Amino acid sequence: MSEAARKIDYDAIWGEEEDLSVLTFNLNGETFAIEAIVVQEILDLLPETHVPGSKPFVSSVINFRGKVIPLADIRLAFGMDATDTTIDSRIIVIELDLDDEPTLIGIRTDKVNEVTMLPRLASEAPPSVGMRWRADYISCLVKRGGEFIIVPNLHAIFSSRKDRTGTTQAPN
C-alpha cells in the first residue's frame, strides 16, 4: 500500500479537534477505542437469538429497548478467534449512519474500560508491513503510555458486510 493511501484522514476522525473522546474496550487482549459520540449504551450481556443461516460476524440479534438489533463480533472482522464470554463481557450499542440511514448495532466486547481522550498528535497510520489486519479496517493507532490503542474504522467494517439486499455478511 502506498504511503499516500496509508495517511490518516484526520478530519474524518478528529474534525477540527485536537483530542477525541472515545470509549476504550478490549478484544482478545488488544485495546480498541470508538468515538464516544456513537455510543448509545453499554449493556451487560443479554439473551441472544441466533439467526439461522446467518454468518458468524453477525450471527444473532438482541432486544434493545424494544428494537431488534444485530449483535456483531468485530473480532471476526480482524481475524481473531471468537472467545467465551466472561463476567467482564459487555455489549456496546452504537449508532452508525450506514447508507445514509441511522443503524443501531451491538458490539460484543471482552471488557469495557473507560471514556478517555486521545490526542491527535499521538496518532499514526497503521504500518504497511507486518499488520495482521486489513488496513482499511483501522482508522489509526494511538500511542498511550507503552501501548497502542486501535481505532477501528467501523464504517468500513460494517459497510463491507452489507450485500445488495442490505443483509449483513461475514468477513471475507
What CATH number has the domain bearing residue 114?
2.40.50.180
Residue 12's contacts (CB-CB under 8 Å, 6 or more residues apart) are 139
**Residues 83, 53: Cα–Cα separation, whole Å:** 21
**Tens digit of pLDDT for each residue in 65-100?**
999 999 999 999 888 888 899 999 999 999 999 888
What residues pair up with 144 in beta bridges, in sequence order?
A: 147
**pLDDT score for 39:** 97
Cell 490503542: give the residue. 149
- Residue 139's CB: how many other CB atoms inside 10 A? 24
User: Residue 170: pLDDT band by 50, 70, 90 thresholds?
Assistant: very low
pTM (2 d.p.): 0.85
Domain for residue 42, yes or no? Answer: yes
Sequence letter at residue 147: E
Percentage, residues of the chain above pLDDT 70: 83
**Tens digit of pLDDT for each residue in 112-124?**
999 999 998 988 8
Domain for residue 96, yes or no? Answer: yes
Domain for residue 167, yes or no? Answer: no
Residue 112 sits in which domain range?
Answer: 10-159
Sequence letter at residue 69: I
Domain for residue 170, yes or no? Answer: no
Domain for residue 100, yes or no? Answer: yes
Domain for residue 118, yes or no? Answer: yes
Q: How many residues are present in the chain?
A: 172
**pLDDT score for 32:** 97
Provide Rg for the chain, Cα atoms. Answer: 16
- Residue 31's CB: how many other CB atoms inside 10 A? 16
Domain for residue 70, yes or no? Answer: yes
Domain for residue 135, yes or no? Answer: yes
**C-alpha distance across the termini of the chain, in Å:** 19
Domains in the chain, number: 1
**Residues 56, 53: Cα–Cα separation, whole Å:** 9
**Tens digit of pLDDT for each residue in 25-78?**
999 999 999 999 999 999 999 999 999 988 888 989 999 999 999 999 999 988
